[in-house]
Amino acid sequence: MRKNLKRLFKYYKPYRGIFWADMFFALVAAAVALTIPLIVRYITSEVVYFEAGESLQTIIRLGVFMVVLILIQLYSQFFITNYGHVMGAKIEYDMRAEIFSHYQKLSFRFFDDQKVGQLMSRITSDLFDITELLHHGPENIVISIIKLFGALIIMVTISPKLTLAAFALVPIMLIYAFIFNRKMKKAFKMNRVRIAEINGQIEDNLSGIRVVKSFANEEIERKKFQLGNNGFLASKKNTYRYMGGYHSGMNAFTMAITVVVIISGGIMMTNGTCDVTDLITFLLYINVFTDPIKILIEFTEQFQNGYSGFERFVEILEIEPDIQDTKDARELKDVRGDISFEDVSFHYADSDQMVLQNVSLDVKAGEYIALVGPSGVGKTTMCSLIPRFYEPTSGVIRVDGQDIRTLTQKSLRNHIGIVQQDVYLFAGTIFENIQYGRPDATREEVIEAAKRANAHAFIMAFPDGYDTDIGQRGVKLSGGQKQRLSIARVFLKNPPILIFDEATSALDNESEKVVQESLETLAKNRTTFVIAHRLSTIRNAEKILVLTENGIAESGSHAELISRDGIYKKLYEIQY
């Protein structure tokens, strides 16, 4: 906890000026709250006994002074509320940027095991509660401590006996608070987990809403959501039960303190050891004394809520990316496109079963290599190792003779273009999605890339042309249109190495023909890896690799493999 708190306080560093100003005005607000009862005591014990004219003038002067104090307190509270919240918003901005940046560093292996909705909750609801704690926490502590100890000193000065009476219940109150605080902390942490699960479920449902509706499974989804929602409600009920006991108990203690003081003061007045003025002043300070206790009640609740969110925030930040650039990593430049696999093996982190085993391969620059074989033998995995989306369990992959682990990930991936079966288009316009391939490209370059991908004609058929909004994930486009946009994106990037991951397998025959032409145009003079189930799309490949569970079983051109009467010929005969 000490380590986490130290880390938490570092976020104040860029905003030290606002922070200390916030603390100053918190101190001023507390000082005003302590001063006004002293003025009341002075008026009731001294001023009322002055000569009438002098008494009136003194009361007017003190009244004006108290109005000035109220205005000072008004501005102090305004500064705390306004600038303090702005400071909190800026810290939230920094933290959100930090965790989002960290997400970008994590590899596919991390995202394979995560739900998007849960990751989103870490940068939305969690961060809001953390920054509320960072803003309100310090000022609440400053105000409370000053009021508490200031009131205590003044109360002791007025009447030590009444002060002892007031503090008689404090030890019991602190024990009560400690017990409930521990229970509240566990409850708040469970709330975080439950709301993250709900966010994940909502994101999953809304992303797949077309599948839900196509199977008419809305009722099943409602029931699934109801289970998660019921779990969250039960968790909230548990939290509010502890909160109810905490708040009601603490309020009862503060009321009991007032009652004890009134009874004790009344008894002391009967035996002449306390006068009415002192009792009135003391009761005014009892309110000043109990007010910070209420603030501390809110702070403890806020702390539990914010700190549980910060623990989840740190939990993500402490996940080290399993693929990182070495300190002396070099930029990949002047790429020819030679690629070699040297005894490469791979298995996923959650399984000991090898996906690839002792694969060796030498691909020359500009070669067109096709990968075929049954599902699950590692075709996509093999291609994912080239841009270091995953790290080989053993062996070495080289580009132009350089071990890819010695190269920066950014420079390596900048020279690789990938066209996938499941095309992902971002919400926005056609122009923005093509330009994603090279963000500094001009409009003319984007249009040229679209023409080379056989996409220009269908784009111009839309009323808004390149400025057409395509909807979430390109929902307004057909499969072939989306695929051609993804190809245009790679044309714009103009990389020397290409990976086509079953880029035409989900298309109809007409769309497949157009897309295949685009792919072949794109592949000219580039080192190309094609993963294909439709063997008709790879007949012209210079080399076809047939993968099985035991690695590369066959290798050669289409004609050579057909003549061998092996695995490839059987696959071909099944399709044709």
- d(Cα 220, Cα 247) in Å, to the nearest integer? 40
pLDDT above 60 for 506: no
pLDDT in tens, 366-378: 888 889 888 778 8
pLDDT above 90 for 431: yes
Compute the Cα dihedral for 123, 125, 130, 132 and give only its sign: positive
- d(Cα 513, Cα 505) in Å, to the nearest integer? 11
Domain boundaries, the chain: 2-317, 339-575
Of the candidates 262, 269, 313, the residue with the CA atom closest to the CA atom of residue 125 = 313
Q: Residue 182: its pLDDT value, please?
A: 76
Rounded to an integer, the average pLDDT of 517-545 is 81
DSSP assignment of 446-513, as one string?
Answer: HHHHHHHTT-HHHHHTSTTGGG-B--GGGTTS-HHHHHHHHHHHHHHH--SEEEEESTTTTS-HHHHH
Q: Residue 84: its pLDDT value, please?
A: 84
- A 10 A CB-CB count for 325 gives 17
pTM over 0.75: no
- d(Cα 507, Cα 443) in Å, to the nearest integer? 28
Rounded to an integer, the average pLDDT of 422-437 is 86
- d(Cα 197, Cα 457) in Å, to the nearest integer? 45
pLDDT above 90 for 318: no
pLDDT in tens, 552-564: 888 888 888 888 8
pLDDT in tens, 456-481: 888 999 999 999 998 877 888 888 88
Find out if CATH 2.60.120.620 is the number for domain 339-575: no
Q: Which CATH architecture has domain 2-317?
A: Up-down Bundle (1.20)
